[in-house]
Amino acid sequence: MPAATTIVVAREDFSIPGGEQHDGSNPPEPVVLESRFFNLLRESKPDVVVLDLRQANGAGVGMILKIRRQSNVPILVVCGQDNENVQDYRFAGAVECIASPVDVVAFNEMLQQIVRVNGQAAPAASREAEAIEFSGVTFRPHQNLMMGSEGKAVHLTTAESLLLAHFVNNPWEIQTRSALAAALYGRHRPATDRAIDVVVNRLRTKLRSLGDAMEHLIKTEFRRGYRFVCDTSSER
């Protein structure tokens, strides 16, 4: 792993292990812990965020979504062996989940792969564009954000944002599920057709929130994949 790699570790309540200590009688309010976490995220600009969700009790999805609304940083989740929310964590925006107890060698290899793949993805045209316009919608990839013509803001998960970025950079072209899986997860991590369809349907739902006709911008091509049927323009 490159020497400059920065990792931030946080618990399910946004507290940082080894961070500011307290005597236990007056623990920080949740809003304070959350504020400290996002301040650290902005200041340190980590390559990876590791979330310890072994005791999350269902709160992990909300935590991942909050991070996704403010940052594109890759998220690696550590969870319990029998955690039933692993798939939800991935759909919310985690790049991978690893079960506890953690094998140190496997954990290090996974961190290296995440940093390597994310570094390769950074120069992509979709991430360089400040804004991409289509059908009256302004899409801001860096912020995982869509803005409607009437100013309505719709936040996207990282998976939804990557999917939309791939579509708007390849309009009118049929995209196979394997091509979409590579855009979302990298070519070295397999993804089921079901996983791709779930992300597509979630993106359609968010597009529809900006207008009923918007969900039809992503057309299903039977047994072939999907097609984004709209012209686009980018602002760099």
Higher pLDDT among residues 88 and 56, named by residue:
88
Return the half-sphere exposure (C-beta side, CA atoms, 13 A cut-off) of residue 20.
10
Note the pLDDT of residue 200: 93
Note the pLDDT of residue 189: 60
Q: Is the pLDDT of residue 180 over 50?
A: yes
Question: What whole-number distance in Å separates Cα of residue 151 and Cα of residue 67?
Answer: 23
Please state the pTM of the whole predicted model: 0.53
Q: Do the domains 125-235 and 7-121 match in fold?
A: no
CATH architecture for residues 7-121: 3-Layer(aba) Sandwich (3.40)
Domains of the chain, residue spans: 7-121, 125-235
CATH placement of domain 125-235: 1.10.10.10
Element spanning 155, H or E: strand 153-155
**% of the chain exceeding 70 in pLDDT:** 84
Note the pLDDT of residue 226: 94
Contacts of 61 (CB under 8 A, 6+ apart): 85, 88, 89, 92
Higher pLDDT among residues 218 and 183, named by residue:
218
Higher pLDDT among residues 137 and 159, named by residue:
137
Note the pLDDT of residue 206: 94
> Mean of the per-residue pLDDT values for the chain?
82
